[in-house]
Structure 1
Amino acid sequence: MGLHYSLDVLSQKLGISKKTIYFYFQNKEMLIEHTISVKLNEFEMGFKTILKGRLHPINELKQITFFGRDSSLRTISEKTCAIPCLLPFMKRQKILS
């Protein structure tokens, strides 16, 4: 199980050489750590922005639950939910049909 991605495939998809990747990252582990760190920072900033917006709590919940998956609250669905454990609650509250 898990994600298996070679630097050959990554460099091909990015249209750069492996040498360019290794110029910025000493090894694959450092690339993964950096990628995770960047994504966590994006989520943190996104959540802070949502909470600073002083929305109605239900709208806050919608935005947090679907953050990073779908920017339109009109098209939320089970498939776009970033936090699946909240789906039963959202269905009971008629946030999600």
Structure 2
Amino acid sequence: MREKIIEKAAELFINLGFKSVTMDDIAQEMGISKKTIYTHFKNKTALVKEAVMHMYHLITHGIDCIRALEQNPIEELYAIKKFAMTRLKDEKSSPQYQLQKYYPEIYSLLKEKQFEKMHECTVANLERGIAQGLYRENLDVEFVSRIYFIGVNGIKDDTLFPIDQFPKAQLFEAYLEYHLRGIVTKEGLKTLKKFINQQSN
């Protein structure tokens, strides 16, 4: 039952926001009493933390599966972007913004974990790209990986990128192209253009 509550809460938080969803809403959605939820979680904050970690592990597992395919590095980044966009249905709301505002400690923990994971993935991607001649060999890998992380997080800020002006899917698409154009070789650019053409068709 504990796992089912976490899964349902995670789904509701992503779709409706961390602030909007109450314990009553979760209980009603599941057809159980609120008391049942409180036997597993002492308060809403504890449930939010578990739901956030559940979502984080789902996404990182998916990314690990994509990385295990060992596609060329540019293809890998497009596959990860596509996967992340299907997982985070944040077209209408920005769950990360609400998490930061109402649950700052959980947000800080998540951001730390996200950085560790994304840094590891990006460094590996950059090193493979350089080795395969798709990325420029004079790249400062540590600098680029950190700038990429800042960018990916920065474009999630709805105050900087209002959703009505910058739909999430297009925004991530544009940022990935921006990132890759800055690091690819002439050979890498050929591969990148194939993906840009695929997206526009």
Please report the TM-score for the alignment, with normalisation by the length of structure 1. 0.72
Larger Rg: 2
Whether the aligned pair in 2 keeps the contact of 1:66 and 1:80 (CA below 8 Å) is no
Q: For 2:25 and 2:18, how far apart are their aligned partners in 1?
A: 16
Structure 1 residue runs of 4 or more that deviate by more than 6 Å after TM superposition: none
Structure 1 match to 2:42: 26
Please report the TM-score for the alignment, with normalisation by the length of structure 2. 0.38
Aligned residues: 88
Q: For 1:58 and 1:50, how far apart are their aligned partners in 2?
A: 12
Structure 2 unaligned spans of 5+: 1-16, 88-165, 179-191
Structure 2 match to 1:96: 199
The alpha carbon displacement at 1:7 in A equals 1.0
Q: For 1:50 and 1:27, how far apart are their aligned partners in 2?
A: 36
Structure 2 match to 1:87: 174
The alpha carbon displacement at 1:48 in A equals 1.0
Q: Which structure 2 residues correspond to residues 1-97 of structure 1 after superposition, within 5 A?
A: 3-68=19-84, 69=86, 81=169, 84-87=171-174, 89=177, 93=193, 94=196, 95-97=198-200
When structure 1 is superposed on structure 2, of 2-11 and 12-21 the one drifting more is 2-11
Q: For 1:80 and 1:6, how far apart are their aligned partners in 2?
A: 26
The alpha carbon displacement at 1:80 in A equals 7.5
Q: For 1:55 and 1:8, how far apart are their aligned partners in 2?
A: 45
- The residue type paired with residue 60 of structure 1 is E
Q: For 2:49 and 2:171, how far apart are their aligned partners in 1?
A: 25
Cα deviations across residues 26-61 of structure 1 (Å, max 9, x unaligned)? 100000000000111111111111111112334312
Q: Identity rate of aligned residues, in percent? A: 26
Q: For 1:38 and 1:84, how far apart are their aligned partners in 2?
A: 25
The alpha carbon displacement at 1:67 in A equals 1.1
Q: For 1:63 and 1:51, how far apart are their aligned partners in 2?
A: 9
Q: For 1:37 and 1:2, how far apart are their aligned partners in 2?
A: 14
The alpha carbon displacement at 1:23 in A equals 1.0
Higher helix share: 2
Over the aligned positions, Cα root-mean-square deviation in angstroms equals 3.0
